[in-house]
């Protein structure tokens, strides 16, 4: 893995001293990387190994950057941009392993290292972008870019690197430059604390029931998992429900005990804002104020202006305009949905209830069963996780001619993890795909795709990617049984796999432009379009089989699923769009003096006339997209923006009369999944679709048009 002769002298001495010890660091020792396809040697890695590895790799990277910046030759694309692309590969490897494990399999020791090193990594990033000699070389090339006869991807690389440096403060001077760097470090501290607070709060919070009458309506699988959890805690006569999304949603959908639905729902909705050491509320205003200060240092009036300036939307107003096109019809539909629930409650003898947040899933499921004869538990029985993974692979095979071969003895960081080699149409190695799908206390909430290694076609470090998908599906109902997915969980499985394919299929020369390194409001398009295949009847008939009997899913049940596809879309669109709107509202503020996140939420709900019984999908104290990093800050709108692209894009297959039509699949692969960020995303979309996107397919898909 690491070659001592390539290190700077000081770093080389520290590395050689470490390797001479009796306990060689597996992150550094070449022998431990003798794994299939150089998959990280997970079983050998301990939390304490990261401190030394991160320190050494940052030192090596600084030396590489210094060599580029102090090169006495005039700057060229090769000696500056190519050199920059090849710098830091060791650091990138260590950071990828570190950041993935802190998300997917953390613990107190790793969290301690994370708290120590996230500020150091932020300072290191600043040292890159505030490296004056390096930026001078890049800026000189940028000013000459139209005379350099660069290829399209080379020009794109130069422009993106120049943009990165400018947006990270490279043009700042004096105190402004110093303050920008200080803010970056402070934000890294606060965002790490926000994420850790939430993970600890959720891990420490459960709902314990001891009376059988309290279990009325709950599915057997959920009860079996709760009983096993109780047994593991020494509570043999109890049921312990963990605070993760699949468990909470299943509970509030089926529990006949309204007061318990309310209790568990409130535990879920108030995660991250419980008084004590894990309360995230004090952090929110600090994070927002620092972001605003940073944006102003760069000449922007608000953080939203800064965050969206380089996206497809360009301005906050363009993002808001799209959100409002969905908000208005969705809000009206949600009010109709709530009125229908109120009427159903009367019919069921529950009285004329004031439908609340904890009632919505319960009555929505009752209405779905009544109107469409569709029972989510009946569907789940036909969607075992192993079979749905095969449906993923079938989709990738038919669209993009990929095949997947499991590596049974691959290194792994948890027994739940599975690993596959991905092969292209010729049988050649394309990459590694890792699946980690079941919820556990050591994993953060949500679902995501990430890289252990990005695709890069640039010598001498050319490499195929190692991609991971993480989800938080419920544990199996009983030992030996598979995890069963609901319809939304199946869509999420396909969504993250779409991100994974974006990384796996990448065919770019430059790491900065590879895979998912695209504009934020384009990155969700390759993932969201793949969701359209999740419920494709042909796939379901082949792979959706009852987990006990092996019986194929009946056509009648597939028909019900599709008939109900527009059901509850008022609610789903409102809760998402509200979160995207409050994100814009937050980051368009020009002062955070005396900021109170709870009061801000209340005022927002009043201003937008939030429908009763619906709240933000993500309340501020647990809004990881916004506050665990700045990646989606003022950019949560991107899911709807990409929704326009994916709905319009999938129509290309409908127009061809076949969801696996060869020509649109070829264009999707070539112009979207393989292309990365080698050109403007609208150009890529038009090359795929033949025209610019239109919004009507999205509204029609959600039943919000007309």
Kindly list the catalytic residues: 496
Strand partners, 484: 384
Q: Where are the alpha helices (DSSP H) in 82-210?
A: 83-86, 89-104, 108-129, 132-143, 152-167, 174-203
Q: Which among 697, 676, 666, 672 is positioned nearest to 686, based on CA atoms?
A: 672
Distance CA 644, CA 539 (A): 24
Backbone angles phi, psi at 684, to 5 degrees: -65, -45
Distance CA 526, CA 467 (A): 15
Report the Cα 330 to chain-centroid distance in Å. 25
Does the N-terminal peptide bond of residue 460 adopt cis geometry, omega within 30 degrees of 0?
A: yes
Structural element, H or E, at residue 4: none
Token pair in block for residue 353 = 């209830």
Distances (CA, A) of 213 to 210, 362, 464, 478: 9, 18, 55, 22
Is residue 435 within 8 Å of residue 389, measured between CB atoms?
A: yes
Distance CA 447, CA 436 (A): 10
Strand partners, 421: 405, 432
Burial class (CB in 10 A: 0-12, 13-18, 19+), 425: exposed
- If phi > 0 it is left, if psi is from -120 to 50 it is alpha, else beta; for residue 515 that is left
Q: Dihedral sign, CA of 577, 489, 313, 138?
A: positive
Q: Which among 492, 565, 567 is positioned nearest to 524, based on CA atoms?
A: 492
SS3 for 418-484 is EEEEEECCCCCEEEEEEEEEECCCCCCCCCEEEEEECCECCCCCCECCEEEEEEEECCCCCCCCCCE
């Amino acid at each position: 893995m690491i070659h001592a002769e390539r290190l700077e002298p000081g770093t080389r001495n520290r590395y050689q001293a470490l390797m001479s010890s009796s306990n060689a660091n597996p992150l550094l020792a070449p022998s431990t990387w003798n794994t299939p396809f150089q998959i990280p040697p997970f079983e050998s890695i301990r939390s304490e190994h990261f401190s030394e590895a991160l320190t050494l790799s940052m030192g090596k990277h600084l030396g590489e950057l210094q060599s580029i910046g102090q090169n006495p030759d005039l700057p060229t694309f090769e000696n500056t941009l190519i050199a920059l692309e090849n710098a830091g590969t060791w650091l990138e490897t260590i950071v990828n392993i570190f950041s993935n494990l802190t998300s997917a399999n953390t613990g107190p020791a790793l969290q301690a290292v994370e708290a120590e090193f996230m500020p150091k990594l932020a300072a290191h990033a600043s040292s890159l972008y505030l490296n004056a000699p390096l930026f001078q070389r890049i800026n000189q090339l940028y000013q000459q870019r139209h005379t350099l006869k660069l290829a399209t991807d080379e020009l794109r690389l130069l422009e993106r690197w120049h943009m990165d440096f400018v947006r990270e403060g490279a043009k700042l001077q004096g105190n402004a430059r110093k303050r920008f760097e200080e803010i970056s470090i402070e934000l890294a501290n606060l965002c790490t604390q926000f994420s850790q607070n939430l993970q600890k709060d959720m891990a420490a919070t459960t709902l314990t029931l001891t009376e059988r009458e309290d279990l009325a309506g709950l599915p057997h699988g959920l009860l079996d998992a709760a009983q096993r959890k109780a047994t593991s805690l020494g509570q043999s006569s109890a049921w312990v429900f963990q605070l993760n999304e699949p468990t909470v949603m299943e509970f509030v959908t089926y529990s006949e005990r309204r007061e318990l639905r309310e209790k568990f729902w409130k535990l879920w909705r108030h995660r991250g804002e419980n008084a004590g050491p894990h309360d995230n509320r004090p952090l929110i205003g600090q994070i927002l104020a620092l972001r605003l200060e940073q944006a102003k240092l760069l000449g922007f009036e608000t953080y939203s202006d800064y965050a969206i300036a380089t996206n497809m939307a360009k301005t906050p107003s363009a993002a808001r305009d799209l959100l409002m096109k969905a908000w208005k019809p969705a809000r009206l539909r949600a009010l109709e949905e709530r009125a229908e629930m109120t009427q159903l409650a009367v019919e069921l003898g529950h009285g004329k209830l004031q439908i609340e947040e904890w009632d919505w899933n319960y009555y929505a499921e009752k209405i779905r069963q009544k109107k469409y004869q569709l029972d989510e538990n009946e569907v789940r029985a036909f969607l075992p996780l192993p079979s749905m993974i095969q449906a993923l692979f079938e989709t990738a095979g038919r669209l993009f001619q990929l095949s997947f071969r499991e590596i049974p003895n691959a290194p792994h960081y948890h027994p739940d993890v599975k690993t596959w080699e991905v092969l292209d149409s010729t049988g050649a190695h394309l990459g590694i795909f890792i699946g980690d799908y079941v919820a556990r206390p050591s994993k953060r909430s949500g679902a995501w795709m990430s890289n252990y290694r990005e695709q890069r076609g640039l010598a001498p470090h050319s490499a195929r990617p190692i991609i991971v998908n993480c989800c938080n599906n419920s544990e199996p109902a009983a030992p030996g049984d598979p995890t069963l997915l609901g319809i939304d969980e199946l869509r999420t499985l396909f969504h993250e796999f779409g991100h994974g394919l974006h990384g796996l299929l990448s065919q770019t020369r430059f790491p900065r432009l590879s895979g998912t390194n695209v504009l934020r409001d384009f990155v969700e398009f390759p993932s969201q379009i793949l969701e359209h295949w999740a419920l494709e009847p042909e796939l379901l008939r082949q792979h959706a089989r009852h987990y006990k009997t092996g019986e194929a899913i009946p056509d009648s049940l597939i028909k019900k699923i599709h008939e109900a596809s527009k059901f509850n879309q008022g609610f789903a669109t409102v809760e998402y769009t509200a979160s995207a709107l409050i994100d814009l509202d937050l980051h368009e503020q020009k002062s955070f003096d005396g900021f109170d996140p709870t009061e801000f939420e209340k005022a927002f709900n009043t201003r937008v006339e939030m429908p009763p019984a619906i709240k933000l999908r993500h309340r501020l104290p647990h809004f990881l997209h916004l506050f665990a990093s700045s990646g989606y800050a003022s950019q949560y709108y991107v899911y709807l923006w990409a929704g326009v692209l994916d709905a319009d894009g999938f129509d290309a297959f409908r127009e061809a009369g076949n969801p696996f039509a060869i020509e649109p699949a070829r264009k999707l692969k070539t112009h979207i999944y393989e292309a990365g960020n080698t050109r403007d995303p609208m150009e890529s979309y038009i090359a795929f679709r033949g025209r610019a996107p239109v919004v009507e397919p999205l509204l029609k898909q959600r039943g919000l048009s007309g």
